[in-house]
Amino acid sequence: MKKSNMSLLLGAAFLMATSAIGPGFLTQTTVFTETLAASFGFVILVSIIIDIGAQLNIWRIIAIAEKRAQDIANDVLPGLGYFLAILIVAGGLAFNIGNIAGAGLGTNVLFGISPEMGALFSGIVAVGIFLVKEAGKLMDKFAQILGFLMIILTVFVMFTADPPVGEAVTKTFMPDTIDFLAIITLVGGTVGGYITFAGGHRLLEAGITGKQALPEITKSSVSAIGIASIMRIFLFLAALGVVAQGLQLDPSNPPASVFKLAAGNIGYKMFGIVMWSAAVTSVVGAAYTSVSFIRTFSPILEKYQKWLIVGFITVSTLVFVVVGKPVAILILVGSLNGLILPIALGVMLIAAHKTKIVGDYKHPIWMTIFGALIVIAMSYMGVYALINGLPQLFK
């Protein structure tokens, strides 16, 4: 494999993984560890299997069709691509406001400045990446460096927390309780909404497509889930070590208290770095992928896609700075995000068996069955989340 291809594949994997590892990812992992203890290992295991099934199908079909997801959807049924793009962009924008808020909290922990000022600074950093001439390469490198940094710091805190690893391994395969909502939340947070398309569209833009590239694409898609999962496992063990000691987590910021209780003030500052890295890489991934869903609809959008990305980040930042974190929007779009994966994956599976889209390519039957089971399970849970999320808006 050419060195440049290796770099692009690794970049795509880290872009997807760091898009997944955002403020919500850190908080969900910590909160579920507190409620499920060692049995949360089982939730992680099941979600990894589902994540791999969804991502393998989607990245593979994008590569074979040599088109972005919205264009494939329009080939399956005219207008479907526009509907999918609206869902993705709405979800990406709402969650980007949350990502910007997380970046503000990270700078608050590190430097003591207000979250709003920190959010402005972080927004400027993210915008700066896309204004550089070689934006794609810089984005890949940025995701890789901060991705490695997050994992290293979390590993340090995990060892300091001294978790009961034996119990965690046992309960991963023989849990005391099975929490289906936790599984769906983790899957939605790892490959839901725009996230699974981040790497697939990045590889398409880099020209890594076609049957000959399938082995590399398969490796890259599984690596992406692996990177996000490694971070999830280390964070789970760090939180488990703290919880197992009988220490109470701060409900206003559970992941920060894990780092602080495990490693004191140094740990707290490390959390600031991890939170900021997780948030700002998610801002970059959300903006890039959301815009990649609308740029093919018009030559004007294609021409000015860099400025669309800048505008996307700017709007996200200003909404947080002016309004604060809009919880109601996040609840509603969070529920919608749960529905995006089964819609997108379902469309991709139909496309995989249409010769006008994939030519003479034969999609493996086991992948189709695996994908179909994920669509059914995620559809059921997505509707459940939407029904339960909507009443919260009117409380």
- DSSP string for residues in 328-354: HHHHHHHHHHHHHHHHHHHHHHHHTT-
Confidence of residue 393 (pLDDT cuts 50, 70, 90): very low
Residue 383: pLDDT over 50: yes
* Tally of domains within the chain: 1
Q: Which amino acid appears at position 258 of this protein?
A: V
Calculate mean pLDDT across residues 113-117.
Answer: 87
Q: Where do we find the tokens 């990177």? A: 227
The answer for residues whose C-beta is within 8 angstroms of residue 280's C-beta and 6 or more apart is 99, 103, 106, 122, 125, 126, 146
Residue 163's pLDDT is 92
CA dist 22 and 393 (Å) reads 23
Calculate ∠ Cα 143-27-29, nearest 5°. Answer: 90
Q: How far apart, in Å, do the first and last CA atoms of the chain sit?
A: 56
Residue 372: pLDDT over 90: yes
User: Which domain does 156 fall in, by range?
Assistant: 3-393
Q: What is the mean pLDDT of the chain?
A: 84
Calculate mean pLDDT across residues 120-140.
Answer: 82
Between 386 and 354, whose confidence is greater? 354
Is residue 395 within 8 A of residue 352, CB to CB? The reply is: no
CATH number of the domain that residue 336 is part of: 1.20.1740.10
Calculate mean pLDDT across residues 366-381.
Answer: 90
CA dist 122 and 129 (Å) reads 11
Confidence of residue 169 (pLDDT cuts 50, 70, 90): very high
Confidence of residue 366 (pLDDT cuts 50, 70, 90): very high
Confidence of residue 236 (pLDDT cuts 50, 70, 90): very high
By mean pLDDT, which of 257-261, 290-294, 381-385 is the weakest? Answer: 381-385
Residue 385: pLDDT over 70: no
By mean pLDDT, which of 39-53, 232-246, 284-298 is the weakest? Answer: 284-298
pLDDT in tens, 260-318: 998 888 989 988 888 898 888 888 888 888 888 888 888 998 888 889 999 999 998 99
